[in-house]
Amino acid sequence: MIDTEQTTETLIQRVHRLQQVMAARDVSASLEFFAPNVEYHYHFGTRPLIGIEWVEKFLKKYWANHTDVTWVINSWAENDGRLFSEGEERYVNADGHQVIHPYMGVIEFTDGLITGWRDYFQMADPNAGK
């Protein structure tokens, strides 16, 4: 169970814990980090996922189609309940190709839970044709 009380845990520490349960592909543990009414823009410009049920469906589908997923955070800043991050996501897609997506994102927290998440990245594989 996620402790939603104010603690000394920083937002980046909380997200590092989320990364661990996501790396283990633990859907239930991953969902504990999200508020029931979360709004997740997994790709800004695409219709957002509204509500934890949609996040659950997204995670299950994503993990069914991607293997060797690694979420890397290289730089981050925290301000007013928001974590701004920059890094890359690495995975092998359903066709067996290694994909590396640079991204930037903003994760918003209320009472320790994720209420908003916006990822900004190029949808097409930036390494295609190399």
CB 76 within 8 A of CB 83: yes
Least confident of 15-24, 40-49, 75-84, 121-130: 121-130
Phi first, then psi: give them for residue 123, nearest 5 degrees: -65, -45
Q: Each residue of 71-129: pLDDT tens digit?
A: 999 999 999 999 999 999 999 988 898 988 899 999 999 999 999 999 988 766 555 55
- Spatial separation of the C-alpha atoms in residues 122 and 112, rounded to whole Å: 29
Residue 55 CB neighbour total at 10 angstroms: 23
Enter the pTM of the model. 0.86
Q: Identify the CATH assignment for 11-121 out of 3.10.450.50, 3.40.50.1580, 2.40.30.30, 3.40.50.720.
A: 3.10.450.50
Kindly tell me if the per-residue pLDDT of 34 is higher than 90.
Answer: yes
From residue 42, give the alpha-carbon distance in Å to each of 8, 9, 31, 81: 28, 25, 15, 19
